[in-house]
Structure 1
Amino acid sequence: MPLKLNVGLSKKIGLPDYGSIGASVHLELELDSGAVGDPDRLRHQIRHLFGMAKSSVEAELINQQSVSQNGSGRGGEPRFNGDADGHATNGNHSPHHLNRRTATQSQIRAIRAIANRERLDLGQQLEKLGVRAVEDLGIQQASQLIDELKAQPAGTGGTR
């Protein structure tokens, strides 16, 4: 009998003039029943899901804040026009957009820290995203890369 693991995370941030933005994500993962008998494995899966939820919520809040700060209108309320580039979100971003929001310093540090900890060569991932350096990533690309790096099984370092 499969085991369902549900993880949810919500966060709200106050804005000037009594405004606020928020993001919420809920994930569900189906595990085999053997996970109950292996507490370490179960904890690892829970941490993994919470990590994915946290990075997704943080990325969405960063996106909303950047949209809000770029002339969203009255009262600091964000407008929602897709991604931070103002394009419909499809997960694939060209590095050549004129008004492209670049990755935050926190995202760059996180990518480098994960890559160093896991002994990963980021070359192929960056190439797939159409950039040469971590600093060239867009904010959404960086978020996507962080999620992918976190999803890698432990000890899968080496070249990729």
Structure 2
Amino acid sequence: MARKVGLSVALVLAAAPAAWPAPVLMSTEWARALCAAWNADPVLTRQLVESGWVKNHAGRGYKVMQLYRQDCPDSPRIELRVSEQDGSARCVYGGAAESKLDSSADYLMWAETKRWQEMGRGEYGPMRAMFFNRLQFEGPRFEAMGNMGPFESFLLLVGKVPGDAASCPAR
């Protein structure tokens, strides 16, 4: 009997997260989930250390990436901070944008919602997205070009982290 109850509880708990709504795409809650997904991605955590990307942090000890949905003009930006920890490029903060960007080290990226979704599904990578102005980008371009594999992995995370795109993030 106890075994049946335990199995029933496990099944209910396994199904419960599916009943919870996904956070709004590019909201602060979604940014926290994106940060956790970053830390689970071996391409991002390893290759961005190997290339030296994570070391270009303007003396703060972390790089900043701010993102937003272009078709949500009144919504706040979100921010990821990435720092080298134990030989890995780890996301140490995901949430509301708080940092002043340094254009020699940090990134600002924006696109229409449908473009974020297309990139997240892997329909095209960062080179095509930038060439056709589907992804707008400010930051150290040569550094980004030298890290296209990790950049593509980052864009794919947008599709891996559940997010509700039916509404814009609220202030």
Q: How high is the TM-score relative to the length of structure 2?
A: 0.27
Larger relative contact order, structure 1 or 2 (CA cutoff 8 Å, min sep 6): 2
Query: TM-score if structure 1 supplies the norm length?
Result: 0.28
Larger relative helix fraction: 1
